[in-house]
Amino acid sequence: MATERTLSIIKPDGVKNGHIGHVVSIFEDAGLKIAAMKMVVLTRKQAEGFYAEHSERGFFGELCDFMTSGPVVLMVLEGEDAIKRNRDLMGDTDPAEAASGTIRKLFAASKGENTAHGSDKPESAARELAYFFGAAFEIC
């Protein structure tokens, strides 16, 4: 299994509700390394660019409002099979459907405000890491 890098975001609800440490512990306990980390407040332009693939969806405005509503924590996770393992640790998009013990089941309130983002495939990870961390993390 290849070592990969993937983007994780602790969304504004996770930061506001005091779950940064819990989420980081879940990753580290699973053997994923935090290779880089920064806390930022996204601009509207950054949020819209990041979620551009959803721009035609009815929830796009709400999603961008939420993602710019407070600080987020951007992380580069590194480890074997990191992309899929991060997705597994996050759980289903809708916390009501998420498996027990997953980040979204533990901490998220709704499908919109769902605590964590994780790149869904290698192409997304490359784009998303470059988007927030620059060329150093384009290759995963």
Provide the Cα torsion 91, 92, 95, 98; round to 10°: -60
Which residues are CB-contacts of 31 (< 8 A; sequence separation ≥ 6)? 79, 80
Nearer to ligand GDP, 10 or 63 (CB): 63
- The residue written with tokens 């580069």 in the block is 76
Q: Is 117 a catalytic residue?
A: yes
Interface map 85-124 toward ligand GDP (x if CB under 6 A): --------x-----------------xx-x--x--x----
Nearer to ligand GDP, 62 or 88 (CB): 62
Q: At its nearest, how many Å lie between ligand GDP and the CB of residue 6?
A: 12
Read off the DSSP letter of residue 35: E
Distance CA(45)–CA(64), nearest Å, equals 9
Interface map 32-71 toward ligand GDP (x if CB under 6 A): ---------------------------x--xx--------
Which residue is closest to ligand GDP by CB?
Answer: 112
**How do the residues of the chain divide into helix, strand and coil, expressed in percent and rounded to 5?**
45, 20, 35
Which residues are CB-contacts of 117 (< 8 A; sequence separation ≥ 6)? 7, 8, 9, 11, 90
Nearer to ligand GDP, 45 or 136 (CB): 45
Q: Would you please indicate which residues are annotated as catalytic (active-site) residues?
A: 117
Residues engaged in binding ligand GDP (CB under 6 A) = 59, 62-63, 93, 111-112, 114, 117, 120
